[in-house]
Structure 1
């Protein structure tokens, strides 16, 4: 195998992706894929971005809301429960990960690390509401019988 593919030749011709590393397909009718990770914990992805949601007795905690598919997060949650989104956890301040939070509706409690708050206050971006709860190094959210650290 040559060290470099000839110009105009697709690299995957020479470097196939191992079968165990191929990403599961998304449902083309939905535009996303949902997978259960554990008790009440689900991932939703469009195979580009991903977020998670945690279902508990009276609500749902969403971790990140990418704007590209944030409208589908409610659909994915509705496949599992009819409970409302009560909390949103920001992984960080980038708009491509949290810019769709308003699409979730309601008035969820927003949780983020304190540096994320500083960056969002500086950005003043209406698509990224500032968190209502912040933490420095570690945060444990206990909702119903579920715990998220």
Structure 2
């Protein structure tokens, strides 16, 4: 795994990437970080995928902003799109768990052209949350 730093203003995301091949972006849950993906990374790397796993804003080795407003959905989505742009990836497969899946659902709804396929683990579609949902 090679560590990259993606800068978004005063925020830095730690992003880890391995191998080459079709890109797969993995988003972790809360309060985890990208290290929880170690078993998946090994399996995907063996299958010759380019695995990219960021520590999302406020987790792991990424910047931990103090203000609640720093975690607005727009900032979370912009961070992940910036990761794709950093690696010059137009489209990726996306696998996300828990809090990462909540972010990912909103990503694929807002920017479907950036995702080849999507697997959400442990979190269903956000539509049942309605307008008053948690995001």
TM-score, with length taken from structure 2: 0.39
Question: Whose helix proportion is higher, 1 or 2?
Answer: 2
TM-score, with length taken from structure 1: 0.36
Q: Which has the higher contact order (CA 8 A, sep 6+)?
A: 2
